[in-house]
């Protein structure tokens, strides 16, 4: 069974989709204790760490779950969106914006077979586009085939309309390209 971890997990919305596809959650990390409590209720067989992502090390993950670099099947990232969202102030200096670059560290150190980074569409609009381009530049330095797309959940049988930016990467040695649903 393929294994995944979710960093910036929230209560596990993305994890539910992965589990429905046959994958197994082995770890979720979130800063919010209520999110962790809910994730634990939603996925009782997964470990849940209530930590600041900057305090989590890839070595701790590999040692705790007895996995080697390159062995993990997938990592899901949903970094905070408040600084990018049209529902907020869109403050380019919001310190939470820097958390968008934490996935680069984990991808580099864990070398999962694939990853997805999800965020709001405000990330590619106006003054925030520079941050998005910088993230893509950093990801392009890694050993991954990467594609991104703006998708709306309403077109994928979900009962909500949420436009999201999805960055999908697949490790190059696997010989596959990321493919988005039609």
| Catalytic positions | 81
Closest to 142 measured CA to CA, from 179, 167, 164:
167
Q: Are 21 and 1 in contact (CB under 8 A)?
A: no
Task: Pull the structure tokens for residue 88.
Answer: 């907020």
Phi, psi for residue 167 in degrees, rounded to 5: -105, 120
Q: Are 15 and 43 in contact (CB under 8 A)?
A: yes
Say if residue 146 is exposed, middle or buried (CB neighbours under 10 Å; 0-12, 13-18, 19+).
middle
Q: Please answer whether residues 144 and 178 qualify as being in contact, where contact means their C-beta atoms are separated by less than 8 angstroms.
A: no
């Amino acid at each position: 069974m393929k294994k995944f971890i979710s960093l910036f997990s929230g209560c596990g919305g993305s994890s539910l989709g992965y589990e429905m596809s046959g994958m197994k959650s082995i770890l979720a990390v979130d800063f919010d204790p209520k999110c962790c409590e809910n994730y634990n209720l939603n996925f009782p067989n997964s470990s849940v760490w209530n930590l600041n992502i900057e305090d989590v090390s890839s070595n701790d993950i590999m040692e705790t779950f007895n996995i080697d670099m390159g062995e993990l099947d997938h990592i899901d990232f949903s970094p905070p969106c408040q600084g990018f969202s049209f529902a907020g102030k869109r403050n380019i200096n919001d310190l939470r914006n820097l958390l968008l670059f934490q996935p680069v560290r984990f991808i580099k150190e864990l070398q999962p077979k694939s990853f997805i980074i999800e965020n709001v569409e405000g990330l590619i609009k106006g003054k925030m586009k520079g941050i998005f381009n910088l993230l893509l530049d950093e990801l392009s330095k890694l050993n991954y085939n990467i594609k991104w797309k703006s998708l709306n959940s309403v077109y994928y049988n979900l009962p909500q309309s949420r436009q999201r930016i999805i960055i999908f990467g697949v490790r190059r040695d696997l010989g596959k390209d990321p493919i988005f649903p039609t």
